[in-house]
């Protein structure tokens, strides 16, 4: 893992796109601030430009810059038995292409050691989307990833231990106007 981090970091810093393991399914990602790379990801996946993405951060403190009126206490009671992505109502300081049409943003505090280290060194959140063509199922394993995705990215992170594990997408929860949560995907 250690040798993969500087390679992936260099690719991201130069505006590239990587395919990498996360704490859920394999993802395609770039710096969340790189609009050109974000547009390329949409092309690779054959995805509508109006569809929003997930942002990966390494800590709750990083969310403050990305969400208006973020209160860390609001996420304190969310179960941490599995990776959970939270949709916050008011994203900020991110390209418009990252936000949903209503201005919301989906963010997950990632627990995968590779992702956490990469985000810290990049000093920016990662934009992430599952490594599948739009409308197709998320790949459960590395071998489920189609050639069009593998050939479209600039670098495939080589972590053999991650390639064999069967993964599932994260739990998806949304903060409602009254501050309570709605589970969208369990």
Nearest to 17 by CA among 2, 1, 39, 46: 39
Residue scoring higher pLDDT (174 or 178): 174
Question: What domains can you pick out in the chain, each with its CATH number?
Answer: 4-72+81-185 (3.90.870.10)
Q: Looking at the predicted structure, is the pLDDT value of residue 75 above 90?
A: no
pTM: 0.92
Mean pLDDT for the chain overall: 90
Nearest to 89 by CA among 108, 77, 102: 102
Q: What is the CA radius of gyration of the chain?
A: 15
Q: Looking at the predicted structure, is the pLDDT value of residue 136 above 70?
A: yes
């Amino acid at each position: 893992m250690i040798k993969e981090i500087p390679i992936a970091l260099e690719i991201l810093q130069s505006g590239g796109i990587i395919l990498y393991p996360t704490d859920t399914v394999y993802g395609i990602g770039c710096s969340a601030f790189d609009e050109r790379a974000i547009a390329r990801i949409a092309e690779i996946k054959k995805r509508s430009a109006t569809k929003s993405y997930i942002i990966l951060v390494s800590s709750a403190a990083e969310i403050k810059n990305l969400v208006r009126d973020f209160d860390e206490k609001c996420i304190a009671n969310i179960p941490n038995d599995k990776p959970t992505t939270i949709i916050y109502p008011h994203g900020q300081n991110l390209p418009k292409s990252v936000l949903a049409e209503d201005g919301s943003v989906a963010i997950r505090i990632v627990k995968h050691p590779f992702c956490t280290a990469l985000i810290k060194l990049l000093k920016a959140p990662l934009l992430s989307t599952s490594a599948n063509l739009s409308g197709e199922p998320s790949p459960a394993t590395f071998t489920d990833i189609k050639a069009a995705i593998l050939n479209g990215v600039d670098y495939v992170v080589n972590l053999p231990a991650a390639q064999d594990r069967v993964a599932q997408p994260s739990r998806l929860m949304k903060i409602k106007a009254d501050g309570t949560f709605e589970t969208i995907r369990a």
